[in-house]
């Protein structure tokens, strides 16, 4: 579905920069090496840094300009041609790269660029002997570009920070000895050793009994996670405790982290409508500014009695400087990339700036139940003992269920294991309880002799089969229920259900506060779905759905929104069966931590730590980004409009022109990077 939201086909034109230039006409690719003009890659670093060499041209020109101004005031000998040569020397360090870019643009047919505007305006200032102003305009323009580069670097680092969590080398066990090799050369099935404090380089499963890992780089979670033997370990996690070993399950280039990095790098190609509008606007606006500047210079000849070509040329040049669209065409994409960076800090991956815009238009959010609003893992919700201590019942039942591999048995064992420390003095945990003669009765449960007593553990049909009486009301409980009987007497029951995520209700509450209609769809039993729906507070819910039924429901909800083209629908899911509806939605959101690869590839937004609260947070980030983008558009157009009128009327000099161009660009850039520091 992502292609539906892409910008115009083709790759945006990009240039290798000389000193400080950007191809503002199309976009700024923050994820492409070489696109940051002040960028040099420092040894041992993953990203570019600004060096002293970057600032040398500005420093030389600034010193030359100040010396020229002082000599103009105090040195009688500082006259042409010495004065011209001095100011040319001050101009060239900052002006030559811009003139070179302007010439390349002219040769390639891309004439009306900001480089062309700056070149014509400053050379024109030299032509009318306003040397200090010509140097000052180019100098402050370059300073503004350097300031902008620093902002681009910051946004770029926040997005590319993921690169730091993928080590190039790993320790592989070969013939019982650890060997350090390139991660890209390690085959599936190899045994990898991860030392304490070391980053995991490949996806795999735990070979050791357990390990504690920091998953913040992948999910944004600060709480370390314990991973047991046989469970998945992902590239980018950091081993926090003892030495562990893992079996590699995925090639280096196919690891979940590698796929996330590819998705991030592709995000720049998907532009928001605002960006596309500004790019189209600049292609019309820049030639129009050049035409108006020419008219301001020449037309007064026919209407002004004391027409002075030099004065009107100066006004036209001021108009050119003011009209440079730099603030618009860099601050807008920078604002969107700031939003993408802010999302990545929170474990939310937007696959393009277009989706930052689309989430602001959401009117309906449809969510899957299992794995999205619930944890997707069976767990004991409550224990109701009859004539026996709850922990004692749990240990006896777990001892019997330890002979089964059913998911319900797994849930009971996990509960008993967690409560082993609360067994009364003299009592035993389930591992030490004797179990004999276990018989599995298909569709009913288990029967066996536990701790010397005949025990039954299963559903209502099992107890009915062995004539054990119990309250018929228990059959109305919507969740899975395991009943237990000891020596023919009903001893209590366990309710087992998929546990609701702690932040699910808060997530729904925030969405509803934003005026978004919430819907839950699930293939689970309707009674279970209703119980979860009431617990989390969604507006509408449907259960017993097949994958094609979910598609039908989403199509119905989209049809309800079709009366307003700006009203969008999002679907949030995690399973393979969710991929079709994720693709059908205007915005597909995947729970990426435990989600299926198919759903993650199809989705437009990925929540890497599986927290439902991040759904509402993604909307908040989108709205903050859009608000900042429109603030920049308004600021740029209003200030430029005012100063353009003043310049055309001869009331603004080159100095006001510099403020209107560079000053507004600086303010817009500062505002654009602000989104990365906002609290959501």
> Annotated active-site positions, please?
368
Exposure b/e, 422-455, CB count within 10 A at least 16 = b: ebeeeeebbeebebeebeeeeebbbbbebbeeeb
Q: How far is residue 537's CA from residue 73's CA, in Å, rounded to a whole number? A: 75
How large is the angle between the packed helices 613-648 and 664-673, nearest 10 degrees?
A: 180
What is the Cα–Cα distance from 90 to 68, expressed in whole angstroms?
Answer: 9
CA geometry: angle 255, 261, 266, nearest 5 deg: 130
User: Among 223, 224, 257, which residue's Cα sits nearest to residue 241?
Assistant: 224
Taking the C-alpha atoms of residue 32 and residue 22, their distance in angstroms, rounded to an integer, is 13
Q: Which helix (H) or strand (E) holds 120?
A: helix 114-127
CB atoms within 10 A of CB 524: 20
The two tokens of residue 607 are 């929540």
Burial 577-607 (b: 16+ CB within 10 A, else e): bbbbbbbbbbbbbbbbbebbebbbebbbbbb
The answer to whether residues 116 and 105 touch, using CB atoms and an 8 Å cutoff, is: yes
For 244-268, give the DSSP string: EEEEE-S-GGGSHHHHHHHHHHHGG
Do 450 and 433 contact (CB within 8 A), yes or no?
Answer: yes
Residue 245 β-bridge partners: 193
């Amino acid at each position: 579905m992502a292609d539906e939201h892409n910008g115009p086909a083709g790759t945006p034109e990009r240039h290798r920069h000389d000193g400080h230039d950007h191809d503002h006409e199309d976009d700024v690719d923050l994820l492409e090496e070489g696109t940051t003009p002040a960028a040099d890659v420092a040894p041992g670093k993953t990203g570019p840094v600004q060096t002293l060499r970057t600032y040398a041209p500005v420093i030389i020109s600034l010193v030359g300009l100040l010396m020229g101004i002082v000599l103009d005031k105090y040195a009688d000998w500082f006259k042409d041609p010495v004065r011209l040569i001095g100011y040319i020397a001050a101009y060239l360090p900052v002006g030559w790269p811009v003139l070179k870019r302007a010439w390349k643009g002219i040769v390639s047919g891309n004439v009306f660029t900001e480089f062309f505007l700056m070149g014509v305006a400053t050379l024109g200032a030299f032509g009318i002997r306003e040397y200090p102003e010509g140097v000052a305009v180019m100098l402050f323009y370059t300073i503004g570009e350097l300031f902008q580069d620093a902002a681009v670097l910051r946004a770029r680092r926040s997005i590319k920070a993921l690169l730091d969590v993928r080590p190039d080398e790993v320790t592989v066990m070969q013939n019982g000895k650890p060997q350090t090799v390139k991660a890209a050369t390690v085959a599936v099935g190899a045994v990898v050793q991860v030392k304490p404090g070391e980053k995991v380089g490949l996806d795999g499963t735990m070979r050791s009994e357990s390990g504690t890992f920091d998953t913040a780089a992948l999910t944004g979670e600060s709480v370390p996670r314990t991973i047991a033997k046989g469970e998945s370990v992902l590239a980018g996690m950091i081993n926090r405790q003892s030495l562990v070993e893992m079996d590699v399950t995925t090639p280096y280039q196919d690891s979940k982290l590698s796929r996330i990095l590819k998705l991030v790098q592709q995000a720049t190609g998907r532009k928001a409508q605002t960006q596309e509008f500004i790019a189209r606007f600049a292609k019309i606006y820049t030639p129009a500014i050049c035409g108006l500047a020419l008219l301001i210079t020449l037309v007064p000849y026919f209407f002004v009695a004391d027409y002075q070509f030099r004065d009107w040329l100066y006004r036209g040049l001021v108009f050119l400087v003011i009209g440079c669209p730099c603030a618009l065409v860099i601050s807008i994409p920078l604002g969107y990339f700031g939003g993408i960076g802010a999302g990545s800090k929170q474990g939310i991956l937007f696959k393009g700036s277009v989706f930052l815009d689309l989430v602001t238009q959401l009117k309906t959010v449809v969510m899957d139940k299992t794995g999205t609003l619930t944890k997707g893992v069976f767990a004991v919700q409550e224990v109701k003992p009859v004539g026996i201590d709850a922990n004692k019942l749990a240990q006896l039942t777990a001892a019997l269920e330890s002979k089964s591999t059913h998911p319900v048995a797994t849930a009971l064992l996990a509960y008993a294991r967690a409560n082993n420390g609360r067994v009364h003095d003299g009592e035993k945990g389930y591992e030490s309880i004797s179990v004999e003669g276990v018989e599995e009765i298909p569709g009913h449960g288990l029967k066996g002799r536990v701790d010397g007593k005949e025990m039954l553990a299963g559903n209502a049909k099992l107890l009915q089969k062995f004539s054990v009486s119990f309250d018929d009301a228990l059959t109305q409980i919507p969740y899975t229920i395991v009943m237990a009987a000891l020596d023919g007497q009903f001893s209590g029951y366990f309710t087992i259900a998929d546990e609701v995520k702690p932040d699910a209700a808060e997530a729904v509450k925030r969405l509803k506060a934003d005026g978004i209609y919430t819907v839950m769809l699930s293939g689970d039993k309707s009674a279970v779905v209703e119980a979860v729906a009431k617990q989390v507070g969604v507006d509408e819910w449907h259960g017993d759905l097949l994958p094609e039924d979910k598609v039908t429901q989403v199509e119905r909800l989209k049809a309800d929104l079709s009366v307003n083209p700006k009203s969008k629908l999002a679907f949030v899911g995690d399973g393979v069966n969710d991929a079709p509806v994720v693709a059908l939605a205007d915005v597909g959101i995947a729970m990426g931590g435990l989600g299926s690869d198919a759903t993650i590839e199809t989705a437009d937004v990925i929540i890497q730590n599986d927290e439902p609260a991040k759904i509402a947070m993604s909307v908040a980030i989108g709205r903050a980004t859009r608000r900042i983008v429109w603030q920049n558009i308004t600021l740029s157009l209003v200030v430029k409009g005012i100063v353009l009128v003043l310049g055309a009327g001869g009331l603004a000099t080159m100095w006001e022109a510099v403020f209107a161009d560079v000053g507004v660009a600086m303010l817009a850039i500062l505002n654009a990077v602000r989104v990365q520091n906002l609290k959501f």
